[in-house]
Amino acid sequence: MAQDVTFRVETRTPAARIAGIAALICIVVLFALPAFASRSLIQDLFFILTMLVLAQFWNLLAGYGGLVSVGQQAFVGFGAYAMFGAAILWGLDPVLAIPLAGVAALLLAVPTAFFVFRLQGAYFAIGTWVVAEVVRLSVAQWRAVGGGSGTSLPRDVIGDMLGLALVQDLFGVRAAAARDILAYWLAVILAVLTIGGIYWLLRTKRGLALASVRDNVEAAKSLGVDALRMKWLVFLTSAFGTGVAGALIYLQKGRISPDAAFSVTDWTAIVIFIVVIGGIGTIEGPIIGVLIFFALQSVFAGYGTWYLMLLGAFGIVIMLFAPRGLWGLFSDKTGIQLFPIRRRLIVTGQDGATIREKDNG
């Protein structure tokens, strides 16, 4: 009997198939949106998408890699400044400078990792924060990009941006609106690549190794997983993606200063709460979280920093009573996973009937 049995490893679920189709429709709609939507909606969506990208990369770090960083603003700011530097000093097209910003963030991540990987757990967190402060204070000394008070992208650099004329002709809008649309499209591409890339990574052998390191370092090591290498992989990947997102955010803003670009509240605290509230360790979580964050921010827009206080308090409550976040609660109740990465062993007999399914984390 035993030789008639075949084994298959599957990650797909019916919900995921529907989610895949929905995601495709969603992407098409997002791309087509500038044709109908108002400029403010495009700006809001740009903000949501870029925060989503930051949240996905922080989630990769902390939720999958177990590296709780509170210093991601180092890579946001450094990426943004690299883009400004390349555009102002070398006259490089800012759109083309965006991938370069990712590389700059990656290069910063190497010495950063050298220092912070010496620190464990919570001390790692504050260590990344110190590095971010060092980078902020150093960049504030860089006179060519405005020192401590910051600078703007020069008018001619903005005007000649790659694809800007095309967008202007296409929609018949002014340069400033065209820049928003261009930045928005880039944000859609970045968000799709980020979610797709992280989903792909988690489903490869490396993703399995990553999950094993997160769940139990010693057990993973005993099975031959190089834990330190996985940490490096996650840290460098996140730095690259965060740097790219930072450059894109400041391409749209057009003006930069060290205090804003290296803000721990804007680029790390909010991002962390988005992930925690939505559900850490899932791809769906940050998507839910970013929508909740945006709703809170919009509702309390006229009341100063109340939304931040509420966001923080909400994050604490979630951590205390539902540590797997809102998506975790939903997923536990319904069993639905839109981006399944859980490998299930399916054992089938000769007649093709499924004998049993086994969950295999």
Partner 1 sequence: MMWIDTLVQGVLLGGLYALFAAGLSLVFGIMRLVNLAHGDLIVLGAYVILIIVSALGLNPFLAALVALPIMFTIGWVLQRVVLNRVLGEDILPPLLVTFGLSVVIQNALMQGYSADSQRLRPGPIESASLDLGVVTVGVMPLLTFASAVVVIVALNQLFYRTALGRAFRATSDDPVTAQLMGIKPASVFAMATGIAMIVVTIAAMYLGMRANFDPTIGPARLIYAFEAVIIGGLGSLWGTLVGGVIIGVAQTVGAAINLEWQILAGHVAFLVVLAFRPRGLFPRAND
**Applying CB under 8 A, which residues contact partner 1?**
62, 68, 70, 114-115, 118-123, 125-127, 129-131, 133-134, 137-138, 140-141, 148, 264-265, 269, 272-273, 276, 280, 304-306, 308-309, 311-313, 315-316, 319-320, 323
Query: Is the Cβ of residue 30 or residue 290 nearer to partner 1 in the bound state?
Result: 290
Nearest to 256 by CA among 115, 177, 154: 154
Of 95 and 139, nearer to partner 1 (C-beta) is 139
CB of 124 to partner 1, least distance (A): 9
Neighbours of 61 (CB within 10 A): 23
Q: In this structure, are strands 6-10 and 151-152 parallel, antiparallel, or unpaired?
A: unpaired
Return d(Cα 130, Cα 71) in angstroms, integer: 8
The distance of closest approach from Cβ of residue 321 to partner 1 in the complex, given in angstroms and rounded to an integer, is: 9
In terms of CB distance, is 101 or 140 closer to partner 1? 140
What are the CA-CA distances from residue 291 to residues 67, 294, 326, 357 (Å)? 24, 5, 12, 35
Which long-range CB contacts under 8 A does 340-345 form with residues at least 24 apart? 340/11, 340/12, 340/13, 340/15, 340/16, 341/11, 341/199, 341/202, 341/203, 341/207, 341/211, 342/11, 343/9, 343/10, 343/11, 343/208, 344/9, 344/10, 344/11, 345/7, 345/8, 345/9
CA distance 112 to 118: 10
Residue 117 CB, nearest approach to partner 1 (Å): 10
Minimum CB distance to partner 1, residue 1 (Å): 43
Q: How far is the CB of 86 from partner 1 (least distance, A)?
A: 24
CB nearer to partner 1: pick between 125 and 158: 125
71 versus 241: smaller Cβ distance to partner 1: 71
CB of 115: closest distance to partner 1 in angstroms? 6
27 versus 264: smaller Cβ distance to partner 1: 264
